[in-house]
Structure 1
């Protein structure tokens, strides 16, 4: 608890983190490139970014793109925002918000790409609508994505993976590509060697990593 309080206090001075009570929090919608990044580069979101491993990793690899990690946990976001500061990354931002609030922070067609990395699979039937690939969230993603925008899902959950594939099929959406064993497939290069803390743990336990890429327009 003491460490969390220290991180919450440190968050107040981290420019890479946009959270409640900071000026941009209520005024950033539709202005990410104009006001924050000050360029016209495509925007990639990491939904439920946790410590921001993918956000930071991708930002280092692709300086010609902008990256935003979204999570509600301020103590987790501290790590990503601090790392962005330490590396002086100009193409990174972190947003403290719920995924359900996407339309409060992004205009239509403002985002080029979305990554969903190892989300809670929400296995109980009553929690289906809380899955980050449920119809509820796909509608949000579709709104903010540009034409031909991509959504990437990485998960260890066979249940979530099968659910997502089935939902896309019922919506008439054909995935660009997918695999039930990322590390044993030709799609291995699609994740750029970036691994989250959870992913490293799952791999060490011998679990297969599922990967799926699809569009919504």
Structure 2
């Protein structure tokens, strides 16, 4: 508990984290490039980012792009925030919110790509609407993404993955590719050797990693 409180206190003073109580949060919608990053580089989101392994890893690899990790769990965001600060990654930021509220913080066409990395699969039927690829979420992503922006999903949960593929049939897409075994396909090249802590554990347990990517159209 003491460690968590220390991490929460740390986030309050970190410049690369936006959360409740910081004045900039109320102004940020539609203004990420001008107010937060102070550049016009394209924006990529990592949703349910946890410790932000993709946010930081991609930010390190692509200095010509901006990356934002989104999660509600500040004790996890702390690690990605600290790592980005220590490496001086000016193109990396974090947003501590519930993803169900994400449309309050990004305007239409403000985002170029979205990664969803090992989210809670919400396996109970009564939690279907809370799954991050339920149509109510996909509709928000569709608005936020520029026309033809990439949507990526990575998960060990086959049921959730198949649910996502079914939901995507309700939306206009192109260039859809998917696999139930990422590590046996060319799609692994999309990941640049990046792995989340969950992914490392799942691979050690012998689980297959599901992955899909598509361009989400308006």
Considering the TM-score relative to the shorter chain, is it more than 0.5?
yes
Offset of 1:186 from its aligned partner?
Answer: 1.5
Q: How does 1:86-105 map to 2 (within 5 A)?
A: 86-105=86-105
- SS of equivalent to 2:126: helix
CA deviations over 1:153-211 (Å, ceiling 9, x no partner): 00000001111111222445455211110001111101111000000000001100000
Say whether residues 1:131 and 2:131 are aligned partners: yes
CA distance 1:172–1:30, change in 2 (3 Å): closer
Q: How does 1:168-179 map to 2 (within 5 A)?
A: 168-171=168-171, 173=173, 176-179=176-179
Offset of 1:96 from its aligned partner?
Answer: 0.5
Matching residue of 1:210: 210
Distance in 1 between the 2:73 and 2:208 partners? 27
Offset of 1:216 from its aligned partner?
Answer: 2.1
CA distance 1:171–1:23, change in 2 (3 Å): closer
- SS of equivalent to 2:59: helix
Matching residue of 1:162: 162
- SS of equivalent to 1:116: strand
Matching residue of 1:110: 110
Q: How does 1:29-108 map to 2 (within 5 A)?
A: 29-108=29-108
Say whether residues 1:190 and 2:185 are aligned partners: no
Aligned 8 A contact 1:175 1:212 in 2: no
Aligned 8 A contact 1:37 1:66 in 2: yes
Offset of 1:88 from its aligned partner?
Answer: 0.5
Aligned 8 A contact 1:66 1:91 in 2: yes
Aligned 8 A contact 1:109 1:143 in 2: yes
| Structure 2 unaligned blocks of 5 or more | none
Aligned 8 A contact 1:51 1:78 in 2: yes
Aligned 8 A contact 1:168 1:174 in 2: no
Matching residue of 2:147: 147
Distance in 2 between the 1:72 and 1:175 partners? 31
Distance in 1 between the 2:201 and 2:86 partners? 26
- SS of equivalent to 2:13: coil
Offset of 1:25 from its aligned partner?
Answer: 1.1
Distance in 1 between the 2:138 and 2:172 partners? 13
Distance in 1 between the 2:81 and 2:118 partners? 20
CA deviations over 1:116-146 (Å, ceiling 9, x no partner): 0001111111111111011010000001000
The Cα RMSD (Å) is 1.1
